[in-house]
Amino acid sequence: MKQSVVRNVGELPTFGFGPQSGPWWGAMSFMALEGMGFAIAIGAYLYLYAVNPTWPIGALPPDLWPGTAETIIFLLSIIPNQYTNRVAHRQDLHKVRVWLVVMSLIGIVLLILRGFEFAHLNTRWDNSAYGSVVWLILGLHTTHLATDLGDTIVLAVLMFTAHAKPRRFSDVTDNVFYWNFVVIAWLPLYVLLDWVPRL
């Protein structure tokens, strides 16, 4: 077939932020499917809750302090996270480095607190179906927390190397976006794990 050039796109940029970029939609898709995973796990919890006459089964509800402390830190972490977003959009390499380190530290603190939360669930995974589903849900969210922390650390290291090129700022904003998902996913889980057993 003959070709006739109708338009030249040579002046377009080579990277972009948000819904303009491909990876943003990739992150969005993964959040959707992982969000569905959380929804299904919550459904399983509520199903077991509905079919059992007593809840929690043979255990006290989890101690409140680790989950509550996490929730507060998660919510506050949105502030430095948004700063990271802003400086990445401005392509301010120095500040991006600083805020990525801050976010990594916050992630580490949360991961340590998460360890305490497992220890204060007041049930083991093999005690009852209640224990099983609580460990499953907390484990699922911890996987997300750990994965995002790993991602943040790798990005932070990357930004201190020669690879810190403009398109990496777009990656930083996608990481910010994903962290918001980890935070938002936690909120219903906090209510479910710490407060539903107290109903």
Partner 1 sequence: MAAEQREIRDDALDGSQLAARLESIWRTPSGLIGTLMSVDHKIIGRRYIVTAFAFLFLGGMLAILMRIQLAGAEQRLLSPDLYNQVFTMHGSTMMFLFAVPVMEAFAVYLVPLMVGTRNIAFPRLNAFSYWMFLFGGCFLWISFAFNVGPDVGWFAYTPLSSLQFTPSKRADVWAQMITFTEVAALAVAVEIIVTVFKQRAPGMTLDRIPLFVWAMLVTAFLIMFAMPSIMIASTSLILDRLVSTRFYDPSSGGNVLLWQHLFWFFGHPEVYIIFIPATGMASMILATFARRPVIGYPVIVLSLIATGFLSFGLWVHHMFVTGLPQLGAGLFTASSMLIAVPSGLQIFCWIATLWDGRPVYRTPLLFVLGFIVIFVIGGLSGVMVASVPIDTQVHDTYFVVAHFHYVLIGGAVFPLIGAVYYWFPKICGRMLSERLGHWNFWLAFCGFNIAFFPMHILGLMGMPRRVYTYTPEMGWDRLNLLSSVGAAIFALSFAVLLANAIYSLRKGTLAHDNPWGASTLEWATASPPPPQNFDRIPAVTHRDPLWADSNTLPVIAGLSAERREVLLTSLAEAEPQIREASPEPSIWPLLTAIATTIFFIGSIFTPWAVMWGTPPMAITLIGWFWPTGSKEDEE
Q: Footprint of partner 1 on this chain (CB under 8 A)?
A: 1-16, 19-22, 25-26, 29-30, 32-34, 36-37, 39-41, 44, 47-48, 51-52, 57, 125-133, 135-136, 150, 154, 158, 163, 165-167
Are the CB atoms for 49 and 55 separated by under 8 Å? yes
CB of 168 to partner 1, least distance (A): 8
CB of 56 to partner 1, least distance (A): 9
Are the CB atoms for 102 and 153 separated by under 8 Å? no
Q: What's the token pair of residue 189?
A: 């889980």
Residue 39 or residue 75: which is nearer to partner 1 going by CB?
Answer: 39
CB of 150 to partner 1, least distance (A): 6
Residue 1 or residue 79: which is nearer to partner 1 going by CB?
Answer: 1
Q: What's the token pair of residue 35?
A: 């969000």
The closest of 75, 88, 74 to 18, measured between CA atoms, is 88
Are the CB atoms for 102 and 80 separated by under 8 Å? yes
CB of 54 to partner 1, least distance (A): 8
Q: HSE, CB side, 13 Å, CA atoms: give it for residue 157.
A: 5
Residue 80 or residue 182: which is nearer to partner 1 going by CB?
Answer: 182
